Amino acid sequence: MRGRSTPEGGRHDAPRGSDTMQVPLQITMRQMPHSDALETRIRQKAGKLEQFHPNLTGCQVTIEEDRRHQQQGRWFNVHIVIGVPGRPDIAVNHAHHEDPHAAVRDAFDAVYRQLEQASRERGRDVARSERGVGP
């Protein structure tokens, strides 16, 4: 499913055919007009995460324009929650000045780093269990 913002800043879900996660990608845009380009960027980034970690169970992305900082320019907050089997969800909050595309890029980079770390930790845990060594 894809989440599309409504004029009131809510989410509108519409079917989308290429999602392979157990729970389809959910995109919510709040306090900002919907952007097809931004939605496409989010879908591309989520697709790359799935290539890196094909067992993801879900991905929720919320991007919101923070209007509390109007004198300082536009701020965009990105919140991403990734479901990973066998471990707690990975959640990233990222704020970025001016450019929503840069905010999405930086937030997904942070998620990617956390997935890499989780994979390394899982590899150490598997190696330990194969040797019969506790955590």
Spatial neighbors of 90 by CB under 8 A, at least 6 apart, are 80, 81, 82, 84, 111, 114, 115, 118
Residue 9: which CATH number? 3.30.160.100
Q: By residue range, what is the domain housing residue 56? A: 2-131
Q: Total structural domains in the chain?
A: 1
Rg (CA), the chain: 17
- If you write DSSP's letter for every residue of 23-63 in order, what string do you get? S--EEEEESS---HHHHHHHHHHHHHHHHHSTT--EEEEEE
Query: What distance in Å separates the CA atoms of residue 133 and residue 131, rounded to the nearest whole number?
Result: 6
Q: What is the pLDDT of residue 122?
A: 65
pLDDT tens figures, 6-65:
444 444 443 343 445 677 899 999 999 999 999 999 999 999 988 888 788 899 999 999
Task: Let me know: does 59 contact 83? Beta carbons within 8 Å.
Answer: yes
